[in-house]
A and B are shown apart, each in its own frame.
Chain A
Amino acid sequence: MKIAVCMKQVPAKDAPLRINEAATWVREGDLSFETNEPDAFALEEALRLKEKHGGEVVVVSLGPERVRQVIKEGLAKGAERAIHICDDEFYGLDPLQMAAALAGAVREEKFDLLLTGLQSDDHGFGQTGVVLAELLGLPHATIIMEIEVQNGRVRVKRELEAGWFQWIELPLPAVLTIQSGINKPRYASLKGIMAAKKKEVRDLKRADVLPPDQVATQATKRIYVPEKAKQTEFLQGTPKEAVAKLLEKLKHEARIL
Chain B
Amino acid sequence: MAAPILVIAEQKQGQLNRQSWETLVAGQQLAETRQAPLAAVLLGKGIAGLAEELAAKKTDEVWLVEHDLLEAYTPDGYAAALRQLIQQLQPALVLLPHTYQVRDFAPKLAASFQRSLISDCIGLGGDSKQTVFVRQMFQGKVNVDVVPAGDPPHFASFQAGAFRADALKEGERKAAIKQAEVELAADQIRSKPEAPFREAKQAVDLSQAEIIVAVGRGIKSPENLDLANRLAALLGAEVGASRPICDEGWLPMERQIGSSGQTVAPKLYLALGISGAIQHVVGMKGARTVVAVNKDANAPIFEVADYGIVGDLFEVVPALIEALEKGS
Q: Among residues 159 to 185 in chain A, which have CB atoms less than 8 Å away from a CB atom of chain B?
A: 159-171, 180-181
Q: Among residues 109 to 144 in chain A, which have CB atoms less than 8 Å away from a CB atom of chain B?
A: 118, 121-127, 130-131, 133-135, 139-143
Q: Among residues 276 to 328 in chain B, which have CB atoms less than 8 Å away from a CB atom of chain A?
A: 288-289, 291-292, 296-298, 302-312, 315-316, 318-320, 322-324, 327
> How many A residues are at the interface, by size bracket?
35 or more
A13 to B291, CA, bound (A): 22
A52 at the interface (CB under 8 A from B): no
| B291 nearest CB across to chain A (Å) | 7
A41 to B309, CA, bound (A): 33
A233 to B307, CA, bound (A): 5
- Specify which chain B residues have a CB less than 8 angstroms from the CB of A163 in the assembled complex: 198-199, 202, 253, 260-262
B146 at the interface (CB under 8 A from A): yes
Q: Is the CB of A225 within 8 A of B116?
A: no
A226 to B128, CA, bound (A): 24
A230 to B276, CA, bound (A): 14
Q: Is the CB of B316 within 8 A of A239?
A: yes
Q: When each residue 1-43 of chain A gets 1 if its CB lies under 8 Å from chain B and 0 otherwise, what string results? A: 0000000000101100101000000100000000000000000
Most B-side CB within 10 Å, residue of A19, A121, A215, A235: A235
A221 at the interface (CB under 8 A from B): yes
Q: Is the CB of B146 within 8 A of A218?
A: yes
- The residue that B137 contacts in the complex, of A123, A140, A180, A215, with Cβ under 8 A, is A123
| A147 nearest CB across to chain B (Å) | 14
A187 at the interface (CB under 8 A from B): no
B35 at the interface (CB under 8 A from A): no
Known: A221-B145, A222-B144, A239-B316. A164 touches B243 (CB 8 A): no
Grouping DSSP codes into helix (H, G, I), strand (E, B) and loop, the A interface class, with mixed when no group exceeds half, is: mixed
Chain A: which residue is nearest B143 at the CB level?
Answer: A226
- Specify which chain B residues have a CB less than 8 angstroms from the CB of A94 in the assembled complex: 116, 149
Q: Among residues 134 to 163 in chain B, which have CB atoms less than 8 Å away from a CB atom of chain A?
A: 135-139, 141-150, 154
Q: Is the CB of A130 within 8 A of B108?
A: yes
Q: Is the CB of B307 within 8 A of A235?
A: yes
The 3 A-B pairs at the shortest CB distance, nearest first, are namely A181-B247, A127-B107, A139-B190
Q: Is the CB of A17 within 8 A of B141?
A: yes
Q: Is the CB of B304 within 8 A of A124?
A: no
- Specify which chain B residues have a CB less than 8 angstroms from the CB of A247 in the assembled complex: 320, 323-324, 327
Most B-side CB within 10 Å, residue of A13, A127, A254, A256: A127
Q: Is the CB of B118 within 8 A of A180?
A: no
Q: 13 A-B residue contacts at CB 8 Å?
A: A17-B141, A19-B142, A121-B139, A124-B136, A126-B107, A127-B106, A140-B108, A167-B194, A215-B150, A218-B148, A223-B145, A234-B308, A250-B291
- The residue that B319 contacts in the complex, of A134, A230, A240, with Cβ under 8 A, is A240
Interface size of B by Cβ–Cβ distance < 8 Å? 92
Q: Is the CB of B298 within 8 A of A225?
A: yes
Known: A95-B117, A232-B302. A218 touches B149 (CB 8 A): yes
Give the interface segment out of B38-46, B50-58, B96-104.
B96-104
Q: Is the CB of B115 within 8 A of A217?
A: yes
Known: A124-B120, A166-B193, A217-B114. A224 touches B149 (CB 8 A): no
- Specify which chain A residues have a CB less than 8 angstroms from the CB of B246 in the assembled complex: 181
| B203 nearest CB across to chain A (Å) | 13
| B297 nearest CB across to chain A (Å) | 8
Chain B: which residue is nearest A226 at the CB level?
Answer: B143
A230 to B263, CA, bound (A): 21
Q: Is the CB of B103 within 8 A of A127?
A: yes
A190 at the interface (CB under 8 A from B): no
A173 to B192, CA, bound (A): 15
A118 to B302, CA, bound (A): 26
A143 to B192, CA, bound (A): 16
Q: Is the CB of A169 within 8 A of B116?
A: no
Q: Is the CB of B260 within 8 A of A99?
A: no
| A27 nearest CB across to chain B (Å) | 12
- Specify which chain A residues have a CB less than 8 angstroms from the CB of B289 in the assembled complex: 250, 254, 256
A166-B197, A233-B308 known; 4 new pairs, CB 8 Å cut-off, are: A131-B110, A169-B192, A215-B149, A242-B309
B112 at the interface (CB under 8 A from A): yes
Q: Among residues 48 to 91 in chain B, which have CB atoms less than 8 Å away from a CB atom of chain A?
A: 75-76
Q: Is the CB of B261 within 8 A of A139?
A: no
- Specify which chain B residues have a CB less than 8 angstroms from the CB of A169 in the assembled complex: 191-192, 194
- Specify which chain B residues have a CB less than 8 angstroms from the CB of A121 in the assembled complex: 138-139
A230 to B303, CA, bound (A): 6
| B210 nearest CB across to chain A (Å) | 9
A96 at the interface (CB under 8 A from B): yes
Q: Is the CB of B305 within 8 A of A230?
A: yes
Q: Is the CB of B303 within 8 A of A228?
A: yes
| B115 nearest CB across to chain A (Å) | 5
- The residue that B306 contacts in the complex, of A143, A181, A232, A244, with Cβ under 8 A, is A232
- Specify which chain B residues have a CB less than 8 angstroms from the CB of A204 in the assembled complex: none
